[in-house]
């Protein structure tokens, strides 16, 4: 099963139920070599669903001391495709290393990827 690291809305049980139809199995972890920032989302449907225009986004710094806390989620290939459809413009899915040593997908700043 693919692993997806979430530092934002995909950790929310209500978002998981709406997006995947179930609660995902997950565990705490941290994204290594990234920093978390705020990002203005322009997608009106996403903003309406989330209730806010500002959302977290991560950018690669390449420094091992930079870490973003979150959760690593286990999902199917079909659910990963649903996660791709869920994320608004400005985010791109990339592979990254976690503090646990696992490799996982993460949605990062598309302008810096």
CATH number at residue 17: 3.10.490.10
pLDDT at residue 89 tops 90: no
pLDDT of residue 50: 75
Q: How many domains does the chain have?
A: 1
pLDDT confidence bin for 104, thresholds 50/70/90: very high
| Average pLDDT value over all residues in the chain | 92
pTM for the model: 0.92
Tell me the chain's radius of gyration from C-alpha atoms: 13
Mean pLDDT confidence for 6-28: 94
Determine the structural domain holding residue 65 and report its residue range. 3-109
3-state secondary structure 75-110: CCHHHHHHHHHHCCCCEEEEEEEECCCCEEEEEEEC
Mean pLDDT confidence for 95-112: 95
pLDDT at residue 48 tops 80: no
pLDDT at residue 64 tops 90: yes
Higher local confidence (pLDDT), 27 or 52: 27
pLDDT confidence bin for 113, thresholds 50/70/90: low
């Amino acid at each position: 099963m693919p692993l997806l690291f979430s530092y934002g809305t995909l950790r929310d049980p209500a978002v998981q139920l709406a997006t995947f139809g179930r609660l995902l199995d997950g565990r705490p972890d941290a994204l290594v070599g990234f920093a978390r920032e705020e990002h203005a989302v322009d997608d009106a449907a996403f903003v309406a669903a989330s209730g806010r225009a500002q959302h977290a986004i991560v950018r690669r710094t390449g420094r091992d001391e930079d870490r973003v806390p979150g959760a690593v989620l286990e999902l199917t290939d079909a659910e990963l495709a649903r996660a791709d459809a869920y994320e608004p413009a400005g985010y791109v899915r990339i592979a990254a290393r976690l503090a646990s040593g696992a490799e996982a997908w993460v949605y990062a700043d598309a302008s810096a990827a």
